[in-house]
Structure 1
Amino acid sequence: MTIKEQYVAAKQAYANWGIDVDAALETLKKVPISIHCWQGDDIGGFEVNKSELSGGIDITGNYPGKATTPEELRMDLEKALSLIPGKHRVNLHAIYAETNGEAVERDQLEPKHFENWLNWAKENGLGLDFNPTLFSHEKAADGLTLSHPNEEIREFWINHCIASRKIGEYFGRELGNPCLTNIWIPDGYKDIPSDRLTPRKRLKESLDRIFTAEVDETCNWDAVESKVFGIGSESYVVGSHEFYLGYALKNNKICLVDTGHYHPTETVSNKISSMLLYSDKLALHVSRPVRWDSDHVVILDDELREIALEIVRNDALNQVIIGLDFFDASINRVAAWTIGTRNMIKALLYALLVPNDHLKELQEKGDFTERLALMEEFKTYPFGAIWDYYCEKMNVPVKERWLTLVKEYEHDVLAKR
């Protein structure tokens, strides 16, 4: 059977449950995923005075071919995007500024240092998101930034975050598409703190200063991101989930949840519905933690499907901003982007092809037998045939054919770096 014939047969199976597959594919086309640039160069960035990775961030592996220039990174992103169905976004960190060989401190960054990224995004029809980089810097060497007891250090990072919001505003204005500017800090202590409150007071005061600087909120959306622990902050993190959730709700900011930033027994999927009751928007960084925040490439596992189901079944595709955040230097980096992003899209398609309304009705009636039976049966419905057709329709490789193209790219481009 051809891909189209398999699609028609699969489509009928879903139609028997009142699921409009064509409509689901049209919906899926409109969902952008924010793809993180830092998978392509192991979070190296292009600063003139580059620092070693710090802030609890670690990269393992030395697979050949990583990008070493902005041009190489954009070329690699273009290759990955050509293998991923749909139109998406690219997420940048401040360390990816292009300063023409001039050493520009982070608190002095301006929109002009990202003009090449903006022009590239325009040429490729992409949105851009942004992050101030509060790690891998001498002023973050002791693991403290916006909560630092030293006022001069706090001032430096406050100004960096303000500059970053201005850059996000620039992206949003020029692209006609709001930029999500997300603040994450590594602040915390390795051992048990004697005072948890004072650092949090300083963080709150720093954030208040940052958000006092006016930017056009139609161009820039502010987000804050929490963490439960990190390397070097095993005992205490200043910016906890409770801290940022409270701050976001009180100050009308977006709370960003990273799937690797919680206790191993916590699931982000379970947080989504609660948070949406109180927030107009929610942002995600989807990663795959393995025993800790290890940022493995996203796979189509139970939690990824559950995240997608929570978004779709609650009609929240326009409320949840989906971004990715993983970095694996042990495999081909273009393949990592492709695998992770295609899996995120697959999970959303899976969720769109579940009879969510009927399952809700069963729960309300107390028919837990049929609810469980159908939830299990739909796991083996012909979802793959729908996905293959979607890829073909969107002019990207079907099944594993993309891997051949990545291997060719590795031979022709990556291996020569």
Structure 2
Amino acid sequence: MMRFTQLDMESFRDKSANRLLLLAALLVCIAVPATLSRYLISGWQFSFYVYIGSGLFVIALAVLRHRLSLKFKINTLATIGTSVAIAALANWGLLSNGMIWFVITGFILMIAYTSRLVLLYMLFAVSTMTLFAWLFYTGALKPPVEANQFASSHVAWINAIVSNMFSLMLIMIHFSYLKEYQQQLISLLEEQNQEISRLANHDNLTGLHNLRVGKDRITQAITFSRRNKTMAAVIFIDLDGFKEINDQHGHDAGDAVLIETAHRLSHNVREVDTVARIGGDEFLVVLQEISSATAAVAIAEKLINKIKVPFIHENNTLSVTASLGIALTSDAQAAEELIKKADSAMYQAKRQGKNRYALFSSGCSAA
């Protein structure tokens, strides 16, 4: 059964970080030249050094992404994003895209950290923007160009388009990661539900239905027979000589016998019939819509002949026989009662010498 582990979660996060790095490296090749083109309207600014250094770091991270840990990649990207945001705000104030870079960095941190840490970071971002707002408001800092001059420049619009495109791409990547993560969890939940259903309805060793399903099928057979005035039958099967195989050859050999018996039973009844293992070396076969008791007897004889055929396990020839008890739906009104009567008939077959069947009659009684 598929299991979703912490390692799987880390793998998803790492893939998301790698996609982000590739996108960032692509946009750096556009954004850094576009940002440096501000030189044409403002002259050289100290923030340009931060932009150039950050761009080189991003490209290096993208090249080495498969050799770096998730936390290192996220921490480095967060440091770069924060540095760019602060440098932009300090140099350009409201004319910059610093606020956008704080938001971008928050999304980056969400890939590897909890929402609490991201919230703390955003509080830091708001405090930083408030500080710069106060500095620009008091005149302690001033942008290198007038707002109207900057807003009318194609350089400003290029930078705005690039930064916003990066923001949107980042959000898409993040939610793509969340969607993949959700789909993985849904697939896991579906598989676990299937496994729970299988464990609840099937025998773990042989893969056959268990007693609970067997009783349910018998109840259905009784109801159908009563409604349509037809006949169904239950065959109770107990292996003869199974204990000796366990004692002489070990439990692995015993398990092999049970698995092979289940295989032979399943392949020698009709698709509408049900084969169930009800415990130990005991099995039930529920025969739906048989024409007569003679038909049930014919199937019982076929199963006896199939089970007694020896088979090889680890160079050992293993042989068992089977004692079968048959009860018809006309013999009982409930599943438990029908199973009990088929069990009584099976004990009758054992008393008669084993490797045979017995049809339930009022004279049958459990040993």
Taking structure 2 as the reference length, the TM-score comes to 0.20
Q: Which has the higher contact order (CA 8 A, sep 6+)?
A: 1
Q: Is the helix fraction higher in 1 or 2?
A: 2
